[in-house]
Amino acid sequence: MNSAYPNLRLRRTRASAWSRALHRETLLTPADLIWPLFVTDGSGVEEPVASLPGVSRWSVDGIVARAKEAVTLGIPCIALFPHTQPGRRSDDGAEALNPDNLMCRATKAIKDACGSDIGVLTDVALDPYTSHGQDGLLDDSGYVVNDDTVAVLVDQALNQANAGADVIAPSDMMDGRVRAIRMALEMNAHPNVQIMAYSAKYASAFYGPFRDAVGSGGLLKGDKKSYQMDPANADEAMREIALDLAEGADSVMVKPGLAYLDVIWRAKQRFEVPVFAYQVSGEYALIEAGAAAGVADRDALLMEKLLAFKRAGCSGVLTYHAAHAARLING
């Protein structure tokens, strides 16, 4: 930079709203948002999630209504997570393979109602279906076994693709699952179903409200540190991302989001692929709690954080605030 004050006054372009808009470097639109939604049994059901103020579990008809709302708001994709009833949970998570499970019924209903107007992203992991709350199968010592779990995840992914899922999002963090799922999709007439890999998913303290929402929180014994990543590691995240891309992922995700902006930035700079962040339940809850406590304006907190994800290099953000954020953006 050769210019110096007063020839260069950086405040000059900040002096009015029109000029700030003209010089804004980062743009956030509703098309940058993915809306996570929780599905539950019944009809006409809305069950508020106590630890996530403003978030509910919806029966399939309610999920369809939310999908139509997303289309109206310009949100291009919704992400589904099931609240599986206790009687349908088992040690082996067999309900994940049921073609009439909550995830599949909701996916089919959305596609029947909205067609290609919206994308449906489905979660591949066993924790919403297991009686022990872990993401995979357990051996006699309680260790989550890798390869046997991957075999079940492949069948789960095919079940969701057959129901109409547009994006398969394996969140389990098992080694080799992206390649196995990609091969199965190719061999079963689903070549255009995308894989958004949870490549850098950390063993985080920010997941508690989500586990309440899917009903696994009270079931989980121990932790998930043998498969989710150590929060201290960033180089390892680059290795995970490289592996998932080599195995056939179309895009990758960093989860949680705000505490790992450095990982998002490194991933975007190194791989030049679509990188997504999940603004997870704990992050959402902190915004709501801070606003309720009068710490700051809720809308300002929300939009500043979403802009941070975009500025760090995200192609999009999964956020429970998606609908509200889209309304703010749309004016």
Pairing state between β 56-58 and 46-48: antiparallel
Active-site entry in 108, 111, 255, 268? 255
201: annotated active-site residue: yes
Please tell me the distance from the alpha carbon of residue 224 to that of residue 134, in angstroms, as a whole number. 7
Single out the residue of 86, 95, 83 nearest to residue 46, CA to CA. Answer: 83
**In terms of C-beta density within 10 A (0-12 exposed, 13-18 middle, 19 or more buried), how is residue 331 classed?**
exposed
With tokens 């492949």, the residue in question is 154
- Spacing of C-alpha 181 from chain mean position: 18
- Give the residue from 321, 241, 295 showing the smallest Cα distance to 37: 321
201, 224, 305, 310: the catalytic one is 201
Surface-to-core class of residue 221, CB atoms within 10 Å of its CB (0-12 exposed, 13-18 middle, 19+ buried): exposed
Burial class (CB in 10 A: 0-12, 13-18, 19+), 25: exposed
C-alpha 5/C-alpha 25 separation (Å) is 23
Report which of 57, 45, 95 is spatially closest to residue 215, judged by C-alpha positions.
Answer: 57
- Residues belonging to the active site: 201, 255
